Structure 1
Amino acid sequence: MESVSRDFALVVACVFVLGMLLPVTSASLGPGRTPESAAAAFVAWNAGSLHLRSGIGELRLAGVVPSLTGYHVMYQQVLGGVPVFGAIVNVFVDWSMAPRFAYSSAKEFGTDALAPAVPAKDASSRFESTAFTASEPSLVVYPDGDRGRLAWRGDLESPTAGDWTVFSSAVDGSVVAVLDARKQVTGWGLVFDPNPIASSGNAKFRDNGDSDSPELGALETKRALEGLDGSGYLRGPYADVQGGKGPNAKEPGDTFFYTRSDERFEQVMAYYHIDRSMRYIAALPSRGGFGSLGFTSIVDHPQTVKVDQFAYDNSYYNTANHRISLGRGGVDDAEDADVILHEFGHAIQDRQVPGFGIGHDAGSMGEGFGDYWAVTMHYSTVKPEWRPLVAMWDATSYDDHDPAYLRRVDLNLHYPEDLTGRIHHDGQIWSRLLWDIHERLGGVTADTIVLESQSYLTPSASFQDGAKALLDADTALYGGAHVIDILEFLMDRGLPFAF
């Protein structure tokens, strides 16, 4: 073992290792060192604290990874020449070649005899099947509580059943562990994007009792379902979708190809459109820093959705359980992305200001924002004259316009004379304001200002509060570059504002 000079400067760091505070002594080792030699000396000095009974002899160099602040020297723990699964020592060495601290998941435990009683070929035959192809088995020590189990590791792949890592005992052939190798996977599903009328340009389509047809089937479009957790369900970092009337959609191969007559089709719709919306929000600029993650309170946990939960024609977001519930009366609500995204608009506001929507003004702004969010999310996929129309497919069961629509965001309503006291109607004053901002400034800039402004509000905010928040948000984000535009549109709607 290389001796370590006693005239180095001692630095004591408290480092979290495996959830415990580990005191680690590190040393500046002077010129001529490499990250590897500095790390090796550090390990030798601190073997006991790093849970290494045999010091550096228990480790195998796995690699050196640079970062913004120095080098990270990675060691794989080995026992009798066999790697311990998941057991890594990571030593941080700064640019001056001084090792500063380490994180260790090395194990101190007794193990099985390190000579396998089950040969590799027998393990290989266990891993192979008609559904899977398997890698060549590799010998590992698998941590199992306070002992290590000698095991053959096989990495299994299947186009229909997913990818798995299986550990089979090298002592008796029993299964030690099965791990899902798909941390986040991309699946595939059929959806309307955003709905049959908007995507086809044909206002004559009708639901016909949720029945399939060649014409509607041609509009069921294959889309990537990103971020699935590999469970086979429609769960990911941004959405957790469940069936209301029937079972949850489950496909072990993450291929969700249902037609619209199957209620699981609506579950795929909800996952795709909410996940896509969340990913868009995550990519928006934060204080001018394009590419950074803004609005973390919106995207930091998945949105729960219950699809086809009740037979009547209504959907809602519940601020008590933070869940979106989508009905199936008339046209199934989840067959129209506008309905999904409108309800998700309420969820966005609740994530920014818990309980948002108390009172007439805040409730109207909530409905107006929900409509705005629905149309802005698929702006580029709809022909221009239909872009302001909300829920054209859902509305075919109750509206006689051509094309049908639930509401629109371009009505020339004026405050206060056009108020009715009904928040869905009065929200169209607010949605028109947001729509005008969108048309003048462009989608990304408008959406960023609108979302940022909502974080300034209270649950019972007034129209005047909402107007001021838009001005404040533009000032904070863009130095007031769009204040004149926003003021123009506020005056067009007659909405009160104050600086």
Structure 2
Amino acid sequence: MKKLLFLFIFFPFILMGKSVWPLGEIWAEKNGESAYPNKTLHLSGTQQNKEAQAEKFVIAELQNFFPANTNLHADFFKIGPLGTYISYTQAFFGTSIYGTSVKINIDKNGNVNSIFYKLAETRNWPQKSFPAVADMERIKAETGDFIISNKNNTWFFDGEKAHAAFVAEYGANDGSKHEETVFAANDYSILYTIDKHRYAGGKDSMVRGNVFYPDPLTSSRKTYGAPYADTDDSDKPELNYERVPLEMKVTFEHDSFTLRNEYSQIAEISSPYTKHAFSNAPFFNYSRQDDRFEEVNATYHIYNYRQHVKKIGFDTLGKIPLKVDPHALNGADQSEFDFFQNDLKLLFGDGGIDDAEDADVVIHEYNHFLSFMASGDNGYGSDRLAIEEGLCDYFACSYSKNISNYNWQKVYNWDGNETWNGRSCVTGKNYKTDVSGNRYKDGEIWVGTLMEIQDEIGRDQTDAIMLGTLYFTAKNMTMPTAARIFIHVDSILYGGKNTLKIAQKFIANGLLPDTFMVSVPDKIKNEFAVKINAAYFSSHNIVYAEFDQPQTGIARIFDLQGKELISQDFYNTNKVNIYAPQITQGMYILHISANGIQKSAKLLK
């Protein structure tokens, strides 16, 4: 039985201002089996214990970056439906080194799938001392009169030497400011600044609300221009006619319905301050000139999108009542997801065309939130930011195209007029020749490729693979790396059945080398076939597996939080009856491992 081991170790150098850093990856796979020969990592105990175990593994793998007095500080821990994900920052003499990162991804069976890192070589760094207390007046002189949520000592490497420094994260609760600045500890000069915005209780009740579906140009199949124009948010009959009464879940309390459910809640965060929607009847009917129309529109599209996310198996991702202000940012022509002081919120501007009137804008910003919930604040590096914008444009395009294929190639069909032209989710750009360093322009490569993949394998599978990929993202990740992860997630969710079609699209757009195809036939070759019969899973907690030839291995069932519910061995047999314990309704994952090959299937109870 032929098995191939794919081991990719990259040591390119990237330029960030004056800073030159070793950036690398250890990425490997073996038909979904162990990432390295005999290199598995079975985490146990508390979260702190697991972080320490993974830290020890990483330092052993990357020991050249960890001389005496250099270690790691854990800053992100997540157990997702596909495995465990831990991120660290490198530390020198106990103080974090700004801009460094390590992320390790471990699957449910303890196989280390990948390690991504950006590390400093500290062997010749001198130890320096920090002032006992930072001079907050000097810091505020540079940051202005904003809330400082975090202030820490840090090391900052400028490519030539290490500076003792302070890093301050500051902003405003209304979303108008959220930045992070590094100050030199000796004279408080600014070494680096980054904008951290991510742009672009009662009884549940079902109600109807008039909304655009997904926007008035798509539903009317018209191009922008009178009478199908914003005209300062006016109530034109042609635009009001495009409102559609659709069903969504809200909260009923104190004899009235309010726009709150398990996924979103309308909030007043920044000006302009508007009157909020409520109704004594189970129907929200506002004309588009009424500010409450945007509240209903945003609430509906988030709720409707979440029904799709639930259907494809990711309902636990970001399942919180996220704050949404459909009229925010002082009327700016901008929208954003913001997480300042861990206060998570979506803010939509009114400049030009009201952003919350366009479902593309709502879904784009909401997926910034899902990305943050899956993998934390890792939006560093030009490629990583391009992936972020591209994946959010992809989900917006995928959502709208599922409603109507009219002019589906344009993202922001309604909002992308008057003050800007929107973007495209179809592109002829190639990663090898067309990368510009602009996150939005480069993001078109990612969204365009995903839409081509969707044409091959369908919306549900492409969306599910991309949501699964969110858990693996890391600081400074490149698009080629993301492409490999996307294929890896397909192997987890769908047994690699889409690998060939996915790889062809990534190769065509320069995201994978032409030589990748050499390995694909062996990677996707079914070394055994298995038929899963889950007809009695919902009623009797039984799953039947039938192989094309006798197999020896193990079958496991996990919930979407990664908790193993049952583990069952089988020996030299063509058929296995897998008995699950008493479990609640929901989505579960079946993993079958035999002779070094893994198969996965989703189970719905």
Q: TM over 0.5, yes or no?
A: yes
Mapped contact 1:197–1:392 kept (Cα < 8 A): yes
Counterpart of 1:115 in structure 2 is: none
Counting aligned pairs with the same residue, the percent is 28
Counterpart of 2:373 in structure 1 is: 351
Mapped contact 1:362–1:459 kept (Cα < 8 A): yes
Q: 1:281 to 1:421 in 2, by over 3 A?
A: same
3-state SS of 1:317 partner: strand
3-state SS of 1:324 partner: strand
Counterpart of 1:207 in structure 2 is: 230
How far does residue 318 in structure 1 lie from its aligned partner after superposition?
Answer: 1.1
Residues 25-174 of structure 1: pairs in structure 2 closer than 5 A? none
How far does residue 295 in structure 1 lie from its aligned partner after superposition?
Answer: 4.8
In structure 1, what residue type is equivalent to 2:232? Answer: G
Q: Which has the higher contact order (CA 8 A, sep 6+)?
A: 2
Residues 330-369 of structure 1: pairs in structure 2 closer than 5 A? 330-369=352-391
3-state SS of 1:240 partner: strand
3-state SS of 2:504 partner: helix
How far does residue 240 in structure 1 lie from its aligned partner after superposition?
Answer: 0.8
How far does residue 312 in structure 1 lie from its aligned partner after superposition?
Answer: 1.6
Q: 1:276 to 1:356 in 2, by over 3 A?
A: farther
How far does residue 477 in structure 1 lie from its aligned partner after superposition?
Answer: 1.0
Counterpart of 1:438 in structure 2 is: 454
In structure 2, what residue type is equivalent to 1:253? Answer: A
**Alignment partners' CA distance in 2, 1:459 and 1:184:** 39
Counterpart of 1:40 in structure 2 is: none
Mapped contact 2:389–2:440 kept (Cα < 8 A): yes
The alignment status of 1:375 with 2:397, answered yes or no, reads yes
Mapped contact 2:275–2:291 kept (Cα < 8 A): no
**Alignment partners' CA distance in 1, 2:250 and 2:304:** 10
**Alignment partners' CA distance in 1, 2:509 and 2:235:** 44
Counterpart of 2:178 in structure 1 is: none
- Structure 2, unaligned runs of 5 or more: 1-200, 520-605
Aligned match for 1:268, one of 280, 289, 296: 296
Counterpart of 1:192 in structure 2 is: 212
**Alignment partners' CA distance in 1, 2:266 and 2:474:** 29
Counterpart of 2:419 in structure 1 is: 398
Residues 415-494 of structure 1: pairs in structure 2 closer than 5 A? 415-494=431-510
- Structure 1, unaligned runs of 5 or more: 1-179, 286-293, 400-404
Query: Post-superposition, which runs of at least 4 consecutive aligned residues in structure 1 deviate over 6 A?
Result: none
3-state SS of 1:446 partner: helix
1:7-35 residue CA offsets vs partner (Å, 9 max, x unmatched): xxxxxxxxxxxxxxxxxxxxxxxxxxxxx
3-state SS of 2:258 partner: coil
In structure 1, what residue type is equivalent to 2:264? Answer: A
How far does residue 278 in structure 1 lie from its aligned partner after superposition?
Answer: 1.2
Aligned match for 1:237, one of 258, 262, 266: 262
How far does residue 297 in structure 1 lie from its aligned partner after superposition?
Answer: 2.4
Counterpart of 1:296 in structure 2 is: 316
Q: 1:464 to 1:346 in 2, by over 3 A?
A: same
In structure 1, what residue type is equivalent to 2:321? Answer: P
1:402-440 residue CA offsets vs partner (Å, 9 max, x unmatched): xxx400111111113211111011100000111111111
Mapped contact 2:483–2:512 kept (Cα < 8 A): yes
The alignment status of 1:328 with 2:350, answered yes or no, reads yes
Which has a greater percent of strand?
Answer: 2
**Alignment partners' CA distance in 1, 2:477 and 2:280:** 46
How far does residue 254 in structure 1 lie from its aligned partner after superposition?
Answer: 4.1
3-state SS of 1:313 partner: coil
Aligned match for 1:247, one of 275, 284, 294: 275
3-state SS of 1:355 partner: coil
How far does residue 260 in structure 1 lie from its aligned partner after superposition?
Answer: 0.5
Mapped contact 1:186–1:225 kept (Cα < 8 A): yes
How far does residue 362 in structure 1 lie from its aligned partner after superposition?
Answer: 1.2
Counterpart of 1:118 in structure 2 is: none
Q: 1:295 to 1:184 in 2, by over 3 A?
A: closer
How far does residue 493 in structure 1 lie from its aligned partner after superposition?
Answer: 1.1
Give the alignment's Cα RMSD to 1 decimal. 1.9
1:436-463 residue CA offsets vs partner (Å, 9 max, x unmatched): 1111111111111111122122244221
3-state SS of 1:308 partner: coil
How far does residue 468 in structure 1 lie from its aligned partner after superposition?
Answer: 1.4
Mapped contact 1:189–1:224 kept (Cα < 8 A): yes
Mapped contact 1:463–1:496 kept (Cα < 8 A): no
In structure 1, what residue type is equivalent to 2:348? Answer: L
Q: 1:396 to 1:372 in 2, by over 3 A?
A: same
Counterpart of 1:128 in structure 2 is: none
Counterpart of 1:225 in structure 2 is: 248
Aligned residues: 304
